[in-house]
Amino acid sequence: MNIKEISEETKLPYSTARKYLTLLEDAKLLESKQKDGSRVFPNDAIRYVRRMAQMSRDGVSLPDAIEKIRITPYSVSDDPEIAGLERRIEELRRTVQSLTDAFVASQQKALPERSGQGFWYHLKAAFSSLFRRK
């Protein structure tokens, strides 16, 4: 995304978005690339710019905001209660993923037909009865 797109997405003035992105690049938290004559940033840029804007509104200095982002780059909020909820959500997401993986694995083990009584056996029997000559 370029600076204009990030500015529009975060609803910040272009100059503010550019300032935050420059600070994030200087801190080596983001790296832009040149594409079609403009700087293009990774998708993480939106999250970081939003966090910087929120911290700035909360009275956190920009250098302190940069340091907080460096310490917890994937956090959506710097509020301890919200951060705890984020950790819990991530734990639950991992649990759901492992249960999903276990379910898929159990289904794959159940796929082989047991003595011809599986789905494909019944499907074949249904279709063969339709075309059987009497």
Q: What is the pLDDT of residues 49-106, one digit of tens each?
A: 999 999 999 899 999 999 988 887 776 666 667 767 877 888 898 899 999 888 888 7
- Residue 106 and residue 131 in one domain: yes
- Residue 20 and residue 57 in one domain: yes
* Whether the model pTM is above 0.85: no
pLDDT mean over 36-54: 90
Q: State the total domains in the chain.
A: 2
Angle 85-9-33 from CA coordinates, rounded to 5°: 100
Q: CATH number for the domain including 42?
A: 1.10.1660.10
What is the rounded (10 degree) CA torsion for 104, 105, 110, 111? 70
- Residue 20 and residue 44 in one domain: yes
pLDDT mean over 115-132: 70
Mean pLDDT over each residue of the chain, to the nearest integer: 83
